[in-house]
């Protein structure tokens, strides 16, 4: 697992807290809304936290881009493209 993938998973766990089993894996195909019960606030918080974690300028991720990110893998791929 890449550092980016691990960081994304850690950030998701941080945001969802007790709602996720800390020992259960977060598969790449886990859907944010359907499987992880993300709401719109969680999506915004996730992008904010990832911008901070990867030292991206505030607002680097547009609302349009955020709307396209539906799975854990989508986020990992997106962050990888933005930071490499």
Comparing CA positions, the residue from 32, 29, 2 lying closest to residue 16 is: 32
Comparing CA positions, the residue from 17, 52, 63 lying closest to residue 36 is: 17
pLDDT of residue 1: 62
pTM, whole model, 2 decimals?
A: 0.89
Comparing CA positions, the residue from 62, 59, 54, 58 lying closest to residue 79 is: 54
d(CA 53, CA 40): 20
- Architecture of domain 3-83 in this structure: Orthogonal Bundle (1.10)
- Annotated domain spans of the chain: 3-83
Question: Would you give per-residue pLDDT tens digits along the chain (84 residues)?
Answer: 689 999 999 999 999 987 887 778 899 999 999 999 999 999 999 999 999 999 999 888 888 898 899 999 999 999 999 988
């Amino acid at each position: 697992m890449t550092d980016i993938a691990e960081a994304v998973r850690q950030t998701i766990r941080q945001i969802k807290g007790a709602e996720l089993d800390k020992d259960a894996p977060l598969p790449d195909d886990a859907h944010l809304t359907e499987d992880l019960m993300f709401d719109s606030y969680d999506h915004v918080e996730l992008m904010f936290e990832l911008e901070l974690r990867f030292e991206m300028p505030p607002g680097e991720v547009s609302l349009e881009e955020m709307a396209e990110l539906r799975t854990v893998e989508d986020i990992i791929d997106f962050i990888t493209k933005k930071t490499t």
